[in-house]
Structures are given as structure tokens and as C-alpha cells.
Structure 1
Amino acid sequence: MRLDKYLKVTRLIKRRTIANEACDAGKVLVNDKIARASYDVKVGDIITINMGQKLVKVEVLNVTEYVKKEEAAENYRVIS
């Protein structure tokens, strides 16, 4: 699954266009490397999102195309 879509599906970022813009601006890292929106997310990847004052680091536990709102947080584990 594309990185921008994964961020939207898991609700780490609210909208896919915002996720895409964050990737283009270099604010999203995967395994400590700047990632493009088209990066193929895999289980075990470490995603770091830098949004201004807030830094979110998560580990990918599951990659699914559709997730209910209540189950979105089950697809990742917050590291810091």
C-alpha cells in the first residue's frame, strides 16, 4: 500500500492530500530515510512524522486496504 494512503487509512494524518504534501515536504521518514508518497509500506517499517512541534514515531504492524475507525490504531504501535 502507498505511504500516503496508509497514513490516511490508519488516521495518522486526516486526509490523503495532506499526507501527500507532508511526504513531498520531507516531513515523513520511513526507516530514517525521507520517503515519497508512493513508497510501498511493509510490516515492520518505522514511520516518523514531523508535524511542526509534534513528532510521531510508529511501527507498522498490519497493512490493510480498509479499516474501521475504531480499529485504525491496531495497525500500528506508537514508539515515541
Structure 2
Amino acid sequence: MRLDKFLKISRLIKRRTLAKEVAEQGRIQINGNQAKASANVAVGDTLTIRFGQKQLTIEITSLRETVKKDEASSLYKVISEQEV
């Protein structure tokens, strides 16, 4: 699954276009490597995302095409959340 689509479905970022912009700014890493919006993600990958003054590190636990809002957080596990 594409990175931008995963971020939208998991509701970490609300819109796919916004996810693409964040990736283009170099604020997302997959397993420690700079990520593009079109990069493929898989179960077990570690994502590091910078939101302003926060840095969120998650591990992907599941991939699905659609998910209900209250089940979106089941697609990933938060490893760390810290101020930058």
C-alpha cells in the first residue's frame, strides 16, 4: 500500500494530498530512510513522522483498504511520541 494512502486510512493525516506534501517536505521516514508519498509500506515497517514540534514513531501492524474511524488506530502501534 502507498504511504500517503496508509496515512489517510489510519487517520494519522486527514487528507491524502496533505500526506503527500508532508512526505515531499522530508518529514516522514520509513525504517530510517527518507520516504516519498508513493513509497510502499508493509506490516512491520517503522514510520517516523514530524508534526511541527512533535515526532511520532509508529509500527504498522495491519494493512486494510477501508476501516471505520474507531478502528483506525488498530492499524498501527505507537512506539514513541516526543517533543522536538
Fold-level match, TM-score > 0.5?
A: yes
The TM-score bracket by the shorter chain reads over 0.9
Deviation at 1:24, TM superposition (A): 0.6
Which structure has the highest strand share of the two?
2
Q: After TM superposition, where is structure 1 displaced by more than 4 Å over at least 4 residues in a row?
A: none
Could you say which residue in structure 1 is the equivalent of 2:5?
5
Deviation at 1:27, TM superposition (A): 0.3
Instruction: Give the count of matched residue pairs.
Output: 80
Could you say which residue in structure 2 is the equivalent of 1:56?
56
TM-score, length basis structure 1 = 0.97
Aligned-partner Cα distance in 2 for 1:29–1:51: 13
Could you say which residue in structure 2 is the equivalent of 1:76?
76
Cα RMSD between the aligned structures? 0.5
Where structure 2 has 5 or more consecutive residues not aligned to the other structure, the ranges are none
Deviation at 1:14, TM superposition (A): 1.0
Deviation at 1:77, TM superposition (A): 0.1
Deviations 1:30-68 (A, max 9, x none): 001110001111000000001110111100000111010
Aligned-partner Cα distance in 1 for 2:77–2:20: 22
